[in-house]
Amino acid sequence: MTHSPVSDTEQFEVALTTQVRSYLSTYRFWAMLGLVLAIGGGISLYLAARGAGFVAHHFLSATDYIGAILGFVAFLAIVVGAFFGGDAISTDFGTKTGYYILAQPVKRSVLLSGRYVAAFLVSSGIVAVYYLIAMVGGIGFFSFGAVPWESFGLSFLLALLLTAGVLSFAFSLSSLSRSPAIGLVITIIVLLVGLSIIDGVVTAFAGTSSLWFSILYAADAISGMVTQGISGTTPPVWQATAISAVYAVGFAAVAYVLYQREET
Amino acid sequence: MPSIEARGLTKRYGGFIALDDASFKFEGSGAIGYLGPNGAGKTTTLKLLTGLARPTAGRGLLNGVDIGRDPKRALWDVGTVIESPEPYPWQTGQRTLEMVAAFRGVPMREARAKIKELASELDLPPLDKKTGALSKGQRQRVVIASSLLSDPSVIILDEPTSGLDPAERIAVRNILVQLKREHLILMSSHLLSEVTEVCDRAIFINHGKILLNETVQNIAKRAVDTQVDVEFAVPIHPDQLGSIAELVRSVVALSPTKLRIDYSGHSDARPEILKRCVAVGPVLSYASATLVLEDAYLQLIGGGVAGANHLAED
């Protein structure tokens, strides 16, 4: 053979584009996009149809409006993260795809990082569409100057970091099952039900200040920083950022170790 | 020079030993058949050699590179088909092959030309179809094509013709026979006839232990061949072969013109039997009733249920 070895970077690009194409070919991507457009777009169209007076009656300001719309972002970030990360590892070991892809001369770390970035781009894209709808509504119903740009922008960045944290967590969980479908369901149940129960129990016994470990708790800051101001959120922005970052980096490392160790 | 080496490869799952201290080394071009019943350790060996599983002990080296230490470099010049793999089901055959080409550094123009060539040689299904929509045999051919796409010097195949119809099997065998002239091929198979046709060397494995590693030619020399089929141009009754009675144990009519002769096993008896058959009537063919590898298989691994099943599959 005469072909010269391909760099990890070039193989990363191949893994990334392959995975993005994979997501774009799935029903779950189009279903999530449809859900975002239906909820965000539906609310905006309804308000537009009712007129400016109706909007002014229900929302005191653009901040009030955008804060209300962004109340859905935490749930959205968790669902998209679970949907696009929940079968990331099990897809190779639960089907015979692993025999195909893992026998190629590509480092597993390159394959995994290509998949992770692809999942992040697709998930972020869906979250960004929702923010775009909120922004257009804020400008349309109020004015460009009325939009709280600083808190809105920081909220978006925190939403992206939270999405990365959820994805890393989902990537790790996806190694628990050999079936991609079961892996996906486990991830969604753990994120939406399991963590909520844990949060509820901890809050009941020790108060919300003990939820320093919870990504659901961190998610509260996403809309909170718009409605309550950057310095007035619970949890504080720094804590929400730290929790999300630790999830993103820590569970990505766990997923990496699990993916390296897994055998077909 | 292409090479495949196993150095004391061992794989344990709890108390079960799937592979026990397997060692072999092959260099240069040629084809090696890897034979044994289900659960013997064939696929485990190939998985360990290609990095799909980690050995409990020992090392696997491809082209001199340790698969455990540097899998990317070890697999760089190696094409594999392990356990009827499934490409991404949402990808078309063309995209699947182009992805592999991109991973392996084959320039896209060259890759597309090679894909066309392989499509013709392997009679690939329409490559604009998603691989998830292909039959098992069609998918297997796409996978075989992807293993050959970068023209690797080493090719490792786990039952490559599994799921293929007879015509497809023949096409794959013909390609392997061509490839082995300049490539090193290690292939496991249940089909002894396939190994006989393609391979120069055979490894027999059972219960995780390598029992024999020998050239097919030497196996043929050792094999105790005790049956020969004779086909005459005209109908012959077994009784007409009375002149060879002292040389044979039995003569059975397989058809009016075909007889199976069971003889003592001494190699010098065979030409004498042929000579006397020719004296009885015109002989169209005179061949061993069983393949050389079948004899060796039965002697080494036994003709129990497992052995019999595999022979029946052939």
pLDDT score, position A121: 97
Judge contact between B61 and B18, C-beta under 8 A: no
pLDDT score, position A56: 83
Q: Which residue of A has its CA nearest to B111?
A: A3
Q: Which residue of A has its CA nearest to B183?
A: A1
Instruction: Evaluate whether ipTM surpasses 0.95.
Output: no
Residue-range domain boundaries for chain B: 3-221, 226-289
The sign of the torsion formed by the CA atoms of A15, A18, A23, A27 equals negative
Residues B71-75, mean pLDDT to the nearest whole number = 95
* B73 contacts chain A (CB < 8 A): yes
Question: Cβ separation of B54 and A21 shorter than 8 Å?
Answer: no
> Min CA distance, B309 vs chain A (Å)?
25
Q: Residues B207-263: pLDDT tens digits?
A: 999 999 999 888 876 666 678 889 999 999 888 888 788 888 888 888 999 998 888
Judge contact between B128 and B163, C-beta under 8 A: no
Question: Cβ separation of B152 and A1 shorter than 8 Å?
Answer: yes
Query: Which of B88, B95, B103 is the closest to A106 by Cβ?
Result: B103
Question: Cβ separation of B105 and A98 shorter than 8 Å?
Answer: no
Residues A225-253, mean pLDDT to the nearest whole number = 91
- What percent of chain B lies above the pLDDT cut of 70? 92
Burial class (CB in 10 A: 0-12, 13-18, 19+), A104: buried
Joined together, the tokens standing for residue A178 give 């050999």
Given a cut of 50, whether residue B312 has pLDDT beyond it is no
**Phi, psi of B184, rounded to the nearest 5 degrees:** -105, 120
> Min CA distance, A38 vs chain B (Å)?
27
Question: Cβ separation of A4 and B105 shorter than 8 Å?
Answer: yes
Which of the residues B1, B76, B109 would you substitute to probe the A interface, choosing the one with the greatest number of A C-beta atoms within 10 Å? B76
Contacts of B91 in chain A (CB under 8 A): 18, 21-22
Question: Cβ separation of B105 and A6 shorter than 8 Å?
Answer: yes
Cα angle at A222 between A219 and A228, to 5 degrees?
120
Question: Cβ separation of B150 and A25 shorter than 8 Å?
Answer: no
- What percent of chain B lies above the pLDDT cut of 90? 58
Judge contact between B244 and B259, C-beta under 8 A: no
Residues A24-49, mean pLDDT to the nearest whole number = 92
* B50 contacts chain A (CB < 8 A): yes
Contacts of B88 in chain A (CB under 8 A): 18, 22, 97, 101
- In the chain, the amino acid numbered B69 is R
Same fold flag, B3-221 and B226-289: no
> Min CA distance, B88 vs chain A (Å)?
6
Given a cut of 90, whether residue A93 has pLDDT beyond it is no
- The structure tokens 């080494």 sit at B300
Indicate the pLDDT class of residue B290, thresholds 50, 70 and 90.
low
Contacts of A14 in chain B (CB under 8 A): 99, 102-103
Q: Using an 8 Å CB-CB cutoff, list residues of chain A that contact chain B.
A: 1, 3-6, 10-11, 14, 18, 21-22, 25-26, 95-107, 263-264
Given a cut of 60, whether residue B57 has pLDDT beyond it is yes
B124-128, B168-172, B263-267, range with the lowest pLDDT: B263-267
Query: Which of B80, B88, B95 is the closest to A97 by Cβ?
Result: B88
- Mean pLDDT for chain B? 88
**Cα B228 from Cα B304, distance rounded (Å):** 22
A43-47, B148-152, B306-310, range with the lowest pLDDT: B306-310
Given a cut of 70, whether residue B291 has pLDDT beyond it is no
Question: According to the 3-state scheme, what is the secondary structure of chain A?
Answer: CCCCCCCHHHHHHHHHHHHHHHHHCCHHHHHHHHHHHHHHHHHHHHHHHHCHHHHHHHCCCHHHHHHHHHHHHHHHHHHHHHHHHCCCCHHHHCCCHHHHHCCCCCCHHHHHHHHHHHHHHHHHHHHHHHHHHHHHHHHHHCCCCCCCHHHHHHHHHHHHHHHHHHHHHHHHHCCCCCCHHHHHHHHHHHHHHHHHHHHHHHHHHHCHHHCCCCHHHHHHHHHHHHHCCCCCCCCCHHHHHHHHHHHHHHHHHHHHHHHHHCCC
Judge contact between B71 and A105, C-beta under 8 A: yes
Judge contact between A115 and A88, C-beta under 8 A: yes
Given a cut of 70, whether residue A35 has pLDDT beyond it is yes
**Cα B182 from Cα B248, distance rounded (Å):** 44
Judge contact between B247 and B241, C-beta under 8 A: no
Cα angle at B298 between B296 and B301, to 5 degrees?
95
Query: Which of A26, A98, A100 is the closest to B143 by Cβ?
Result: A100
Residue-range domain boundaries for chain A: 42-261
- The structure tokens 């160790």 sit at A261
Give whichever of A89-98, A153-162, B131-140, B268-277 has the largest mean pLDDT.
A153-162
Residues B6-34, mean pLDDT to the nearest whole number = 95
Burial class (CB in 10 A: 0-12, 13-18, 19+), A53: exposed
Question: Cβ separation of A105 and B104 shorter than 8 Å?
Answer: yes
Contacts of A87 in chain B (CB under 8 A): none
Given a cut of 90, whether residue A4 has pLDDT beyond it is no
**Phi, psi of B126, rounded to the nearest 5 degrees:** -55, 125
- For chain A, how many residues are written? 264
How far, in whole angstroms, is CA A36 from its chain's centroid? 13
Give, to the nearest 10 degrees, the angle between helix A27-36 and helix A108-141. 20
Cα→Cα distances A255→A111, A197, B47, B70, Å: 12, 24, 22, 20
Query: Which of A6, A21, A263 is the closest to B103 by Cβ?
Result: A6
The answer to whether the peptide bond before residue A235 is cis (omega within 30 degrees of 0) is yes
pLDDT score, position B223: 63
What's the topology of domain B226-289? Alpha-Beta Plaits (3.30.70)
Indicate the pLDDT class of residue A161, thresholds 50, 70 and 90.
very high
Q: Which helix (H) or strand (E) holds B306?
A: helix B305-313
pLDDT score, position B115: 96
pLDDT score, position B265: 62
Which of the residues B92, B104, B150, B153 would you substitute to probe the A interface, choosing the one with the greatest number of A C-beta atoms within 10 Å? B104
Contacts of B74 in chain A (CB under 8 A): 105
Judge contact between A118 and A23, C-beta under 8 A: yes
**Cα B144 from Cα B152, distance rounded (Å):** 12
* B109 contacts chain A (CB < 8 A): no
A140-154, B190-204, B282-296, range with the lowest pLDDT: B282-296
**Cα B18 from Cα B46, distance rounded (Å):** 12
Given a cut of 80, whether residue A159 has pLDDT beyond it is yes
Closest by CA position to A3, among listed B107, B136, B200: B107
* B163 contacts chain A (CB < 8 A): no
Question: Cβ separation of A96 and B85 shorter than 8 Å?
Answer: yes
pLDDT score, position B304: 44
Question: Cβ separation of A1 and B71 shorter than 8 Å?
Answer: no
Contacts of B49 in chain A (CB under 8 A): none
Judge contact between B41 and B207, C-beta under 8 A: yes
| CATH of B3-221 among 3.30.420.40, 3.30.70.20, 3.40.50.300, 3.30.70.100 | 3.40.50.300
Three-state SS for B287?
Answer: strand
Judge contact between B275 and B241, C-beta under 8 A: no
> Min CA distance, B121 vs chain A (Å)?
20
> Min CA distance, B45 vs chain A (Å)?
13
- In the chain, the amino acid numbered B282 is P
- Identify the bridge partners of residue B130 per DSSP, sorted by sequence position: B92
Give, to the nearest 10 degrees, the angle between helix A215-227 and helix A62-69. 160
Q: Which helix (H) or strand (E) holds B98?
A: helix B93-103
Question: Cβ separation of A99 and B153 shorter than 8 Å?
Answer: no
Question: Cβ separation of A25 and B90 shorter than 8 Å?
Answer: yes
* B2 contacts chain A (CB < 8 A): no
